[in-house]
Copies of this chain bind each other. A is one copy, B any other.
Amino acid sequence: MNTLNDFSDKFHDACGLFGVYNHEDAAKLTYLGLFALQHRGQESAGISTSHKGELLFYKKNGLVTHIFIEEVLNTLPGNIAIGHTRYSTAGGSAFINAQPLVINYIRGKLAIAHNGHFINAKDLRNKLEQNGSIFQTISDSEVLLHLLACSKKENLINALLESLPLINGSYSLILMTPDKLIGIRDPFGFRPLSIGKLNNSYILASETCALNLVEAEHLRDVEPSEIVVIDKNGLNSLKFSTPKKHAQCIFEYIYFSRPDSNLFGQNVHNIRKKIGQQLALEHPADADVVISVPDSGISASLGFSEESGIPYDIGLMRNHYIGRTFISPLQIFRDFGVKIKLNPILNVLKGKRIVLVDDSIVRGTTSKKILSLLRNSGVASIHFRVSSPPIKYSCIYGIDTPERDKLLAAHRSMKEIKNYLNVDSLGYLSISGLLKSVGDDGNKFCTACFDGNYPTET
């Protein structure tokens, strides 16, 4: 839920998807859904609607509430809609990659919104270009659109059944034709996608917090390998692949998703609290107070406090008014980047032995700044607790991790990391502790960023 990225060493690129079938205010409902999913991407947003056989759309760089003012929503009539929020790389031409993508092809009109990453995208693009395809974006979705366009199958569903198995990687997808809404999850189930019902309307959403906002009932999740087709015949389900070992992204629990969402069958906040409890069991600390790096570390902090009996308090105050236009800080300030977002409450910190809980460490540079800020606030000692295992490998499934050598834990021992961060003690959650916390009954999650076991063939 970052809005400022300049000094962040957190992951990004967990896009948000939303779709509505059979609602007279489909675009407005999608607007609300995207608003609830804003934390999954603040770079651009788009909505497409089906209206009288046409697929209308509007997409732009910026936040959902800035883009979709009333007069824009009024240009999007129709009772089927899909929407997308996106985080991604910058650059003058970046807009062209905003989603949904809307095309004309042999079977008519089609819109698509995608969360994930095709690891064989480059190969597929090369093959498609050999056969005459042209690419106007760098979006993986365009690859799937070309596969569908090149398929000789008579209808879209059969083309999907033929095309999806060619893709290696992570994808939750929402597609729209003039009369259908389609939801898809890859066979590993990397990214979430939930199904909701609101009176006679069906909803698809990346997280259940979006269903809550529009007061839809959470029916169930789209299953890995499942295509859910919603049209005048109601909701029908197909499988496009034989069952595989699931590999749901465990970082959705640790960082990406909103605490109020239910994900992969469990509540995110609850999982984070369990993770915090487990962390306290694995790495107890002799301390006066537990504080968190807000907002992502708060739930785990509460769990740590509960298990350890050390009281939780607010030691760092977050300023939420940071927007895209914050100007470059003055050179005269040390550690300035972190200070515009976080301010220490000295009264809570001074002279105290603190446990600081953060959700993860990627490069380590922001952690170092936060720790320095706390040091300068007069804490007696810092016991740094991280509610995830050391990140040692880059993600290849759509999360924008830096290359492996830039990951703090890639090649360093615990002692080296402790020295680098200059803390009195350091404790990362263990992989087994994490899996226990999320209640894994055996291998339902992808933990590649911790252990390098990439579930797909690479």
The segment from A128-136, A221-229, A354-362 that touches chain B is A128-136
Q: Which of A106, A306, A321 has the most CB of B within 10 A?
A: A321
Complex Cα gap A134–B146 (Å): 7
Q: Is A259 an interface residue (CB 8 A)?
A: yes
Q: How far is the CB of A116 from chain B (nearest CB, A)?
A: 20
Q: How far is the CB of A107 from chain B (nearest CB, A)?
A: 9
A119-134 residues with Cβ-Cβ distance < 8 A to B are 125, 129-134
Complex Cα gap A412–B294 (Å): 39
Complex Cα gap A344–B209 (Å): 9
Which listed residue, B104, B105, B130, touches A106 by the CB 8 Å rule?
Answer: B130
Q: Please, which residue of chain B has its CB at the minimum distance from the CB of A306?
A: B311
Complex Cα gap A356–B306 (Å): 19
Complex Cα gap A396–B345 (Å): 31
B150 touches A145 (CB 8 A): no
> Assuming the A-B contacts A270-B347, A326-B65, are A317 and B259 also in contact, with contact meaning beta carbons closer than 8 angstroms in the complex?
yes
Which listed residue, B68, B146, B321, touches A327 by the CB 8 Å rule?
Answer: B68
Interface size on A, residues (CB 8 A): 93
Q: Mark A249-267, 1 if CB is under 8 A from B, else 0.
A: 0000000001110100001
A269 touches B35 (CB 8 A): no
Which residues of B sit under 8 angstroms from A135, Cβ to Cβ? 103-105
B92 touches A58 (CB 8 A): yes
Q: Is A31 an interface residue (CB 8 A)?
A: yes
> Assuming the A-B contacts A56-B92, A72-B92, A323-B63, are A28 and B330 also in contact, with contact meaning beta carbons closer than 8 angstroms in the complex?
yes
A259 touches B314 (CB 8 A): yes
Complex Cα gap A68–B453 (Å): 48
Q: Mark A74-117, 1 if CB is under 8 A from B, else 0.
A: 01100000000000000111001000011111100000000000
Complex Cα gap A400–B359 (Å): 40
B269 touches A314 (CB 8 A): yes
Q: Mark A381-418, 1 if CB is under 8 A from B, else 0.
A: 00000000000000000000000000000000000000
A321 touches B65 (CB 8 A): yes
Complex Cα gap A215–B58 (Å): 40
A-B pairs with beta carbons under 8 Å apart, 6 shown: A36-B343, A63-B323, A104-B134, A105-B129, A106-B132, A270-B347
Which 8 residue pairs across A and B have the least CB separation, nearest first? A132-B150, A267-B347, A260-B317, A75-B92, A104-B135, A106-B129, A105-B134, A38-B321
